[in-house]
Amino acid sequence: MNYYEILEVSQNASKEVIKNAYRALIKKYHPDSYTGDKEYAQEILKKINEAYEVLIDDNKRLLYDYDNGFKIDPNAPKDIEPVVETEEVEEQEDKVEKEQNKFEKLKKKILEHKAVSITVSVVVLFLIAFIFGSSFAGPKENEKDKDSTVKTNIENKKDESNNTNNNYNKNNNTVNNRYNNTVDNLPSNNEETTKPEQEKNNEVENNNNQETTGGVS
C-alpha cells in the first residue's frame, strides 16, 4: 500500500502539504458530503487515516520509506500545496466534532436505556419468582400442617388406647384380688369334713356317758 498515492502527494512532500492533503481528502470522502457509495467512502477514509498517521510522524515515515525502498531526493522540488479554503476546513472539522459528540451522547443514552431495561427485567423476574414461590410454599405448609395434625391425632389415639389398657389392667387386678381374697376366706374341704365328724364323736360320747350313768344308777 503506497501511502503517498493514497494522500495524493509526492515522496518529498512536507508535513504541511501532507496535512492539507489529508484535510481535503477527508472533506471529499466524508459521508455527509460524498454522494457515491457510502461503504466505499468508509474504506477510503480508513486508508487515508492510516496513511496520514504514518507520514505525519517523522520516525514512522522514515521506517516506512526504508521498508518500501523509497529514497527522498533533498534537491527535488516540493509539492505545490493544494488550494484549500481554511474556513471550509474548519467548518468541516467542527461538523465532524459535533457528529462525534452526538454519537457519544446517543451511545450513552443507549447504554443507560439498556441498564434500566436490565434492572426492570431483574425486578420483574424477582417478583415472578417470589409470587410463584409463595403459591408453591402455601400448599406445602398446609400439607405440613395436615401431617402434623394427623400425627397429633394418632398420638392422642395411642394415649387413649394406653389409658384404656391401663384401666382394664387395674380393674382386672382388682377383680383378681377380690376373687383371691374370697377364695382364701372360704373353708377348706378338710375343715368341712372335720366338723361333722367331731360333732358325731361328741354325740357318741354323750350317748355313752348317758348310758353309763343310767346303768350305774
> Which range, of 44-58, 60-74, 83-97, 126-140, averages the lowest pLDDT?
83-97
Cell of 3: 501511502
51-87 pLDDT, tens digit each: 999 999 999 999 999 888 876 655 544 544 444 445 5
The amino acid that residue 143 corresponds to is E
Instruction: Provide CATH code, domain 3-84.
Output: 1.10.287.110
Beta-carbon contacts of residue 96 (< 8 Å; ≥ 6 apart): 26, 30
Beta-carbon contacts of residue 73 (< 8 Å; ≥ 6 apart): 12
Average of pLDDT values for 118-124? Answer: 87
pLDDT score, position 89: 64
The 8-class DSSP code of residue 217 comes to -
Cell of 131: 409470587
Please tell me the pTM assigned to this model: 0.36
Average of pLDDT values for 21-48? Answer: 89
